[in-house]
Structure 1
Amino acid sequence: MNHFLENSVVPILVKIGNNVVLVAVRNGIAFTLPFIIAGSLFLIIANLPIPGWSAWLGDYATLLSIPVQATFGAIGLIAAIGISYNLARHYALDGLSCVCITVAVFLLSQLDDHYQVNVNNFGASGLFSAIILSVLTVYIVRFFIVRKLYIKMPEGVPPAVLQSFVSLAPACVCLGLIWFVRVVLNFDINAFFTLMLSPLVNGLDTLPGMLMLVGLISLLWCCGIHGTNVLSGITSPIFLTFIAENTQAYLAHQPIPHINAEGFYTIFICSGGSGATMGLVLAMLLSKSRYYKSVGRISFGPALFCINEPVIFGVPMVFNPLMMIPLIATPMVICTCSWLLMSFGIIGKPVLQVPWTMPPILNAYFATGGNIPAAIWSGCMVVISTVIYFPFFKMLEKKQLIEEKAEMQRTQSRLSEHA
């Protein structure tokens, strides 16, 4: 099994994860996180679960929600800038020129039937078109630059002026292409991209889809590969769209539409990091083995902030057949429980994006807009993790104790020989 994973499955998944476009998308989407978290902070302040807080704020509660519209309402545009810049930098192109062309192309693609820019598509609804158009723009620019199909200027021309003329031809082609499609053909680019990606979006909005994703991420971790990073280029745009829609619904006091929004995986599945390893860390802290107790002490701090590399590589869990079982099973069990609890309205759904390093209980409380049952469930997740990991860890510990005892006997034997 290990041989099959290492030689057949892992190389394919690593190749997908290292794809130039997916890496650019992943890094470009990361550009939106500071804005989303900043907007979420304003929303948290406006909706603190304190009796009389909203009445005390009065009209300021509405004013505090304005930055939310300005941040969540621009994630599509910000993502287009970030993706274009990262992809241009990979191909050693002028990042600023590519970004400017991408922004112009994105704006042109978001025209409504009256040929006015529809600012409503600057947010989550325009995210998919932002991804595809930014990639398309950079590759068109690269086509012209590689083949030197641009206006050449004499020596001595200032670099800024020279770059503007270099960008002129690809800019005209990009804008002309989008103008023809959107204006002449009256083809709704944004609606088309949304429709094309709807099967993937719909799949990841279900429990089976989420379980498949969680299982695949955990399987990659079993092979020593950061599964979240490998697949985030595909999943992040979708989950980011979901959290933006959840936030808008929360602001409008409407039912929250999505469970599998950004933050669901980190907060309501991965207590202590991917694989929900917090329970394993607690088990190691109580271990009779000197080695595992040391690993537990080293891992506890990072695990509180959802960093589990010390556990994954310290136990180790990589290509460890015994620990692969709970590493895959634990997050899938917790995922199912979290999803069902949210589906039946027992705990709140994620409506705000909080830093992924926020400790358990606190992260669930703030991500759900102050939902106390969600915070309690976050603590229960740690208990479930401990229950699942504990019997497997005890088997691992038993073997380690035998090795430590044998090592101690060898050490004492060597000391007695030198005495």
Structure 2
Amino acid sequence: MSKATGFLNKTIVPVLTALSENTYLSAIRAGMVSVVPLTIIGGLFMIVAFMPITWGSAKLSVGDFKDLPSFAKKLKQPSDAVSTFISGGLSVESKQALSQYEPSGPPSSQLETSLLKDLNAIIQGPSLHDEQRFSGVGLRDVTKQLLERKPQGNDLARLNRLLLEDAYPPEIPKKVTGWDILIAPYLQILQIPVTATFGMLAVFVCFAVSYDLGKQLKQEAIVSASMATAIFLMISLKLEDLTLITENLGSKGMFTAIIVALVSVRVQKFFTDKNLVIKMPANVPAVVYESFLSLSPLCFLIFVFWLVRFVVGVDIDHVVQTAFKPLVFALNTLPGILVYAFLVTMLWSVGINGDNAVDAIVAPIFLQYLAENVTAMTAGQPLPYITAYGFFTTFVNVGGTGATIALALVLWNSKEPGFRKVSRISLPTQIFQINEPIFFGIPIVLNPIFMAPYILNALILTTCSYLLMHWHLINKPFVNVPWTTPPIIGHYLVSGGDWRAAVWGAVSILIAMAVYYPFAKAAERQRLKAEAEGKAHE
């Protein structure tokens, strides 16, 4: 372990330290951090809009019919596609009871019982929906939304119940069995903040990155940001009708936005350094003076990007997306995210902020994953990405990187006074994902006996969380929450209110405790022995 640590310190650490301090990567990192609050706000509205809460049963029960005679008449003499389908699938008992039913009189209890049995079988069966069958039925918004999600299990039963209610509004009462039904009339309004945040993510990123880089390069930051954003919006126009390509303004255009921001500010800096700027007289107001300084670099940038994008016809966004495609693909695979987990925890183990070292590269990708998961959720489609923003910070960094909250719990009653004190001091901070007190207090950094479980826990929790999401046992992340959100609560919120994710959060702490336990006890024995030997020599 000491040889490996020495190798890292001599070869890898200097390179990664230089990367983490690089001006351009620092600007990207700062820009990404600045847009996180926007995704949190959008995420809060996502939670309200798509809270996975259901109650009651989708089944029909005795007394649920509002107008049983009318319903029986429609099945006895079907005149629409839905009634024809249901009538054809009735049991022998129901068909016999229907044949004996006279519309002029009340239906028999036998007819009601047999119809309930058959309808509940339909509700619990395959999807009742068919385009042609329901072509003449006005479906409610909530039915359409649930239909788009291709539900299974209980949600499929709820869909079938909704379809029956829509097909027979006078006969079958509308029954509220979930949050989605309650919220359906307000869903479009709730999605406005989501669209305003996630749907404009690339624009905000372009502005934020260029602003920070302009500040670092001693340019007028607001001018840098305005200039870069104008360029980005220009190349996002469609030549045919000069309207914006809206999908490029969201997560899809994030890498393009970053590159435009870096190039624009770098060109601005070049023009300033070479004195290729228009300088107004000294008595001109500062705001006017600074704005004219940007005129020549802005003209140059607009001309170059206009030439490339519209005259030559190069789809800049497509080129950028193609270049980053391998990395975007890799980080959503189990091997790829394991490499990332190992790299981050290994760097932390030798005293380098692993997140800062690689965030400038991976944060845009994770944020893009999150935005596309949000888009999929609002469209009722399966979520495409497992390792979206929130996966690592919530499901892997449980109580801090390396799940160190588990170590604090293991050492809570340690026989070694130092361990016991550090664990008790650090536990309150680790509830909010801050683990520096235990990380440097034990210490874990450059301590082989704790480095091993620290890295191992990250790999185990990454693997388990990934597989649980891959197997659809817990929801994939589609809500962003502050990284200081306590474990279990964070699991619940990031997954959009999935109680199974919260349970997994608790289980993951227990797993991490089991991993830390033998190493902690070994370290405890080692330290107690050293203390005893020290006293013996006194």
**Equivalent-residue separation in structure 1 for 2:282 and 2:514 (angstroms):** 72
**Equivalent-residue separation in structure 1 for 2:402 and 2:414 (angstroms):** 20
Once the 2 structures are TM-superposed, how far is the Cα of residue 407 of structure 1 from its aligned partner?
Answer: 5.6
**Equivalent-residue separation in structure 2 for 1:61 and 1:185 (angstroms):** 43
Q: Greater shift after overlay, 149-158 or 289-298?
A: 149-158
Corresponding position: 1:45 with 2:48: yes
State how 1:335-354 maps to structure 2 within 5 Å: 335-354=462-481
- The Cα offsets for residues 52-79 of structure 1, whole Å up to 9 and x where unpaired, read as 4333334123211111011100110000
State how 1:99-178 maps to structure 2 within 5 Å: 99-114=225-240, 115-178=242-305
1:160 and 1:377, CA in 2 relative to 1: closer, same or farther beyond 3 A? same
- The Cα offsets for residues 244-278 of structure 1, whole Å up to 9 and x where unpaired, read as 00111111221110001101001111111111212
Instruction: Give the aligned partner of residue 64 of structure 1.
Output: 190
Once the 2 structures are TM-superposed, how far is the Cα of residue 225 of structure 1 from its aligned partner?
Answer: 1.1
Instruction: Give the aligned partner of residue 284 of structure 1.
Output: 411
Corresponding position: 1:95 with 2:95: no
Q: Greater shift after overlay, 246-255 or 154-163?
A: 154-163
Instruction: Give the aligned partner of residue 29 of structure 1.
Output: 32
Q: Greater shift after overlay, 117-126 or 208-217?
A: 117-126
Residue type of the alignment partner of 1:166: L
**Equivalent-residue separation in structure 2 for 1:78 and 1:20 (angstroms):** 19
Corresponding position: 1:248 with 2:251: no
Residue type of the alignment partner of 1:107: L
Partner of 1:197, secondary structure, is helix
Partner of 1:316, secondary structure, is coil
Once the 2 structures are TM-superposed, how far is the Cα of residue 355 of structure 1 from its aligned partner?
Answer: 1.0
State how 1:192-341 maps to structure 2 within 5 Å: 192-341=319-468
Residue type of the alignment partner of 1:261: A
- The Cα offsets for residues 146-181 of structure 1, whole Å up to 9 and x where unpaired, read as 111111222311112211221110010011111001
Instruction: Give the aligned partner of residue 211 of structure 2.
Output: 85
**Equivalent-residue separation in structure 2 for 1:365 and 1:408 (angstroms):** 50
- The Cα offsets for residues 257-305 of structure 1, whole Å up to 9 and x where unpaired, read as 0001101001111111111212111111021111111010111011111
Instruction: Give the aligned partner of residue 74 of structure 1.
Output: 200
**Equivalent-residue separation in structure 2 for 1:155 and 1:313 (angstroms):** 53
Aligned with 1:365 (options 487, 492, 496): 492
Residue type of the alignment partner of 2:200: A
Q: Given the two structures, how large is their TM-score scaled by the length of structure 2? A: 0.75
Instruction: Give the aligned partner of residue 91 of structure 2.
Output: none
Q: Greater shift after overlay, 121-130 or 4-13?
A: 4-13
**Equivalent-residue separation in structure 1 for 2:408 and 2:236 (angstroms):** 49
Residue type of the alignment partner of 2:50: N
Instruction: Give the aligned partner of residue 8 of structure 2.
Output: 5
Once the 2 structures are TM-superposed, how far is the Cα of residue 409 of structure 1 from its aligned partner?
Answer: 6.5
- The Cα offsets for residues 9-35 of structure 1, whole Å up to 9 and x where unpaired, read as 211111111111111000001121111
Aligned with 1:14 (options 5, 17, 32): 17
Residue type of the alignment partner of 2:491: A
Once the 2 structures are TM-superposed, how far is the Cα of residue 113 of structure 1 from its aligned partner?
Answer: 4.0
Corresponding position: 1:55 with 2:58: no
Partner of 2:294, secondary structure, is helix
Once the 2 structures are TM-superposed, how far is the Cα of residue 112 of structure 1 from its aligned partner?
Answer: 2.0
**Equivalent-residue separation in structure 2 for 1:280 and 1:112 (angstroms):** 55
**Equivalent-residue separation in structure 2 for 1:111 and 1:62 (angstroms):** 26
Identity %: 39
**Equivalent-residue separation in structure 1 for 2:512 and 2:368 (angstroms):** 29
Q: Given the two structures, how large is their TM-score scaled by the length of structure 1? A: 0.95
Q: Greater shift after overlay, 15-24 or 115-124?
A: 115-124
Q: Greater shift after overlay, 123-132 or 111-120?
A: 111-120
- The Cα offsets for residues 284-330 of structure 1, whole Å up to 9 and x where unpaired, read as 10211111110101110111111111121011111111111111111
Matched residue count: 411
Corresponding position: 1:397 with 2:524: yes
**Equivalent-residue separation in structure 1 for 2:293 and 2:12 (angstroms):** 43
**Equivalent-residue separation in structure 2 for 1:230 and 1:72 (angstroms):** 25
Residue type of the alignment partner of 1:194: Q
**Equivalent-residue separation in structure 2 for 1:241 and 1:160 (angstroms):** 35
Instruction: Give the aligned partner of residue 188 of structure 1.
Output: 315
Once the 2 structures are TM-superposed, how far is the Cα of residue 406 of structure 1 from its aligned partner?
Answer: 4.9
1:155 and 1:113, CA in 2 relative to 1: closer, same or farther beyond 3 A? closer
* RMSD, aligned CA: 1.4
**Equivalent-residue separation in structure 1 for 2:291 and 2:218 (angstroms):** 16
